[in-house]
Amino acid sequence: MRDGAVCQRTGCVARTSPVDVHPGLLPGDDTFLFPPASMHLRFRQLGALCLLAFSLSQPAFGQDNAEKTPLGKKMSAMNTAFKAIGRQIDDPAKNPSTLEQLAIIETNAKAALELEPEKKEKVPTAEQAKFIADYQAGIKQLLVTIDKMRTALKAGKNADAATVLDSMKDQQRDSHKEFRIKKAGAPGS
């Protein structure tokens, strides 16, 4: 292939420059191919498209926090601390940090005790008082479980604290089934 010739298969322009060898050239051929100028335009268009997609997706993520109720914000803070505890519960060296995360859960649970779940509006009026009483009993049970975990952590019994954490996970799962509105697209909805 001579210098300046265009490959019929790929549209690349042949140049005698040691950049990349075209896969269709024979070994020992000193002719090299460069992509056509229109390919640079495609890359710019692809970059602009990615930037546009990214900028449009950002407001969607921000709306999740704006739509949360006061109880939802408390539960979100509790969930973040709960996940942190799960990652470090087995390491006795991280017990001070685990106790801090446990304090975050406790503070938010006490505040959540004064709030009402959004699902209350979907419960028949005759059953709303029982619904709220059950919700508050669940939060009080969580506070008791937090005290058990704190006692185990302060005693250095991380295996016992891990068992308490497992019971907290079970309690969380059961309570969320009963008191939380299922999100669209969530498993089990």
pTM of the predicted structure, to 2 decimals: 0.62
Q: Round to whole Å and give the CA distance between 37 and 22.
A: 17
Q: Tokens at residue 51, please?
A: 């930037």
Q: How many CB atoms lie within 10 A of CB 187?
A: 6
Among residues 51, 56, 5, 54, which one has the least CA distance to residue 32? 5
Q: Round to whole Å and give the CA distance between 146 and 110.
A: 11
- Check pLDDT > 70 for residue 115: yes
Q: Are 31 and 4 in contact (CB under 8 A)?
A: no
Q: Tokens at residue 164, please?
A: 């308490």
**In this structure, what DSSP letter does residue 6 have?**
B
Of the chain, the percentage scoring pLDDT greater than 90 comes to: 48
Report the sign of the C-alpha dihedral through residues 165, 171, 177, 178, in that order.
Answer: negative
pLDDT (0 to 100) of residue 4: 62
pLDDT tens-digit readout, 146-175:
999 999 999 999 999 999 999 999 999 998
What pLDDT band is residue 47 in, cutting at 50, 70 and 90?
A: confident
* Higher local confidence (pLDDT), 39 or 131: 131
When pLDDT is averaged across residues 42-70 and rounded to a whole number, the result is 66
Of the chain, the percentage scoring pLDDT greater than 70 comes to: 67
Among residues 133, 134, 131, which one has the least CA distance to residue 120? 131
pLDDT (0 to 100) of residue 9: 66
